[in-house]
Structure formats: C-alpha cells, structure tokens
Amino acid sequence: MEEYFDNYNSQCGDDELNLLPLPSQLDDTSHMLIEETIEVDIGEDPNKPHIVLLGKILNQKEQEQFIKLLKRYIKFFTWTYSDMPRLDPNLVVHNLVLEKDAKPIKQKLRKMHPKVALLVKEELQKLLDVGLITPIDYPMWVSNVVSIGKKIGGIHICIDF
C-alpha cells in the first residue's frame, strides 16, 4: 500500500488535478450490482437542494413511493456537517490505542496539488467549524491527509495511519 501512495505522489504534475483513485485491491466491485441512477431533489427549498439517487430500474409507482418516504423522513438525514451538532462523542470519537513502548512515527510530508490542497482545507474547516475534529499537536506522531475524489464531485478526506 505504501508503494501505491509513493507512486501516486511521484505522478502528481502541476498541470493536472490528481485525486487519489482507490487502490485495485480495494476497488473490487465485481460482486456489486452497478445500475444507472437518476437524481431526485427531495428538498422543499429550490435554493438548498437535497439530492438523492434512485435506481432507474424502479418503475414510476416505486419511485413515487420512495420519494414520498424520503420526504416524510427528510429531517433524519444529514446534508451538511452542521446538521450533526448533538452527536455523542462517546459514539463518534476515534482514538488510536497505542502500546506504552510504541515508537513514534513521523511520516514524510506528501505534496498535494494546490487545487486539492484548497479542497482539503475547505473540508477540514467544515469539520473544525462544527466541532467534529479538534486540532491536537503531537509533533512526534505525524500522518498525512489523503484525498479521494467522490464520484459525484468533491472529495473524501482521511488520514493515512
């Protein structure tokens, strides 16, 4: 896996926006049913769309039933990070459990394309603003942020431990 990231970093040019694709061992979708979808806005405000994807395989009656159900329970979905203000930290906080004699690892900083760096910064700011993450300074332990492109645009971010 480390070779994969090293190869990715050496291939990042300044002219193109390279978002990290899934490694082949994680991208085995042969067992999944891939079907065409349609976008449906279940929101009531045209300025704030709430887009969901429905399979094109559904007939008109099934589509209408799903849309009605989704609209009925729309308040139970989160559309932005700020929709989750009361999450219990005991449920969502992730901690790494380390042995007392574990040797600290400080990864070499990987360069990001400037456009990707801006997207990562925006995503991190959203998480900071709503308190889902907090800045902590552990200079002995440093891991890189990894950005992965979403199929519908934008990015996912994670930490490469």
The answer to whether the Cα torsion of 63, 66, 71, 76 is positive or negative is negative
User: What's the pLDDT score for residue 2?
Assistant: 45
CATH of the domain at 139: 3.10.10.10
Q: Does some domain include residue 91?
A: yes
On whether the CB atoms of residues 81 and 123 are closer than 8 A, the answer is no
In three-state secondary structure terms, 151 is coil
95 and 129 housed in the same domain: yes
| Residues shown for the chain | 161
Q: Does some domain include residue 82?
A: no
Domains of the chain: total:
2
H or E stretch covering 120: helix 114-129
93 and 155 housed in the same domain: yes
- Give pLDDT tens digits along the chain (161 positions): 444 444 444 544 444 455 555 555 544 555 555 778 888 999 888 888 888 889 888 999 999 999 999 999 888 888 777 777 767 767 777 777 778 888 888 888 888 889 888 999 998 898 888 777 778 776 777 788 888 887 767 788 887 66
45 and 15 housed in the same domain: no
On whether the CB atoms of residues 87 and 133 are closer than 8 A, the answer is no
User: What's the pLDDT score for residue 63?
Assistant: 92
91 and 67 housed in the same domain: no
107 and 62 housed in the same domain: no
Q: 40 is in which domain, residue-wise? A: 35-77
On whether the CB atoms of residues 86 and 131 are closer than 8 A, the answer is no
C-alpha span between 9 and 123 (Å, rounded) = 21
User: What's the pLDDT score for residue 8?
Assistant: 44
141 and 71 housed in the same domain: no
52 and 122 housed in the same domain: no
115 and 139 housed in the same domain: yes
The answer to whether the Cα torsion of 68, 71, 74, 79 is positive or negative is positive
42 and 119 housed in the same domain: no
User: What's the pLDDT score for residue 46?
Assistant: 82
User: What's the pLDDT score for residue 61?
Assistant: 94
Closest CA to 145 of 154, 157, 153, 135: 157
Closest CA to 122 of 82, 78, 154, 83: 154
On whether the CB atoms of residues 155 and 123 are closer than 8 A, the answer is yes
63 and 109 housed in the same domain: no
pTM (2 d.p.):
0.52
